[in-house]
Amino acid sequence: MKDDIVLNLLKQVKSGEVTVEEAREALEEASITEESYAAAVEHGVFNEVKPGTIVRASISPSGDSWLVILVGLWGILWTLYWAGSLAYGLYNKWDQQLLAFNLAMTLLTVIILGIVYLKFILPDVVIVKHRRNKYITANDPQGWKDYKV
């Protein structure tokens, strides 16, 4: 999505560079024609899109934030710890309950990493597909068979 003047102004208000009153004053002289307003409304989310269109949502957070990087490193280190202790316990014939705990902690850490990956890193992409019309042949009276029981 391209950064237009309004989006830049909203980002500046969010960061605190510009106050809300200054943003209102800047937008007071903004005008929009009825045709462009109607075109913007017509271009809304309720319009049918063509089959095969790729729709992207760019509102998901970026995957290169420090929090995501720290959670990824945290998850990799704990996964290596729990998997290593599981392997060590298998080699030294530990009790089954302790081995199950180590396996559960390994899987839980991997699941947390997967959730973080799906939520913050994987882009939101939807490929629009539509159901095709079914082809129904004409009724053929000669094709019917009369079964007698």
Structure confidence by residue, pLDDT tens digits, 64-121: 678 888 999 999 999 999 999 999 999 999 999 999 999 999 999 999 999 988 888 7
Which segment of 17-31, 34-48, 95-109 scores lowest on mean pLDDT? 34-48
d(CA 129, CA 50): 8
pLDDT band at 12 (very low <50, low <70, confident <90, very high): confident
Q: What is the mean pLDDT of residues 32-54?
A: 68
Q: What is the pTM of this model?
A: 0.47
**Residue 57, beta-bridge partner list:** 124
Q: What is the mean pLDDT of residues 53-59?
A: 60
Helix (H, G, I), strand (E, B) or coil at 46: coil
pLDDT of residue 1: 46
pLDDT of residue 42: 67
Please report the DSSP string for 38-85 in residue order.
HHHHHTSTTSPPPTT-EEEETTSPPTTSHHHHHHHHHHHHHHHHHHHH
